[in-house]
Amino acid sequence: MQPSALTAKERSTVLELLNSDEYAELAPAQIWARELDARRYHCSVSTMYRILREQGQSGERHRQATHLGQTVPELVATGLSQVFTWDITKAAGPAKGIWYHAYVIIDIFSRYIVGHTVERADSAVRAEELIRETITRNGILPRTVAPR
């Protein structure tokens, strides 16, 4: 054993310091510098890294956000005209550079196209009008109208 090596108690004290709330997210070099600024010297930076490595803590020091797995929203319909979904698709026109926008509204229960139109330009106003027209034509207000 090296005469300058830390004792087990000193190593334990350094590990507690490295894992303290104040320093838990900092790299050992940052902790070492802050401790020196406060006129406290515990050991070298490399010894701090060695202590962490021996404890299996040599990876990322910052707390990483843990996100719960997000479930993809699922549209469910048990009958006709309960849930409509809609989409807009660009379709090539008769000449290069000419595009049309095909709007489609589908009843997800029957997969029946309940509304559609083809327009020269993409327009939120026109999409809203088509949804209103489709609801009026069917005479039933769906529970949900969701974009695809």
For residue range 135-146, list pLDDT tens digits in order.
Answer: 898 888 887 777
What pLDDT, on the 0 to 100 scale, is given for residue 89? 92
Exposed e or buried b for every residue in 6-22, given b needs 16+ CB within 10 A? Answer: beeeebeebbebbeeee
Which helix H or strand E contains 127, and what residues bound it? helix 124-138
Asked if residue 67 has pLDDT above 70, the reply is: no
Asked if residue 60 has pLDDT above 90, the reply is: no
Q: What is the mean pLDDT of residues 95-117?
A: 93
pTM for the predicted model, two decimal places: 0.50
Question: Using 50, 70 and 90 to split pLDDT, how confident is the model at 1?
Answer: low
For residue range 15-54, list pLDDT tens digits in order.
Answer: 999 998 888 888 899 999 999 999 999 999 999 999 999 9
Tokens of 18: 């490295």
Q: What is the mean pLDDT of the chain?
A: 87
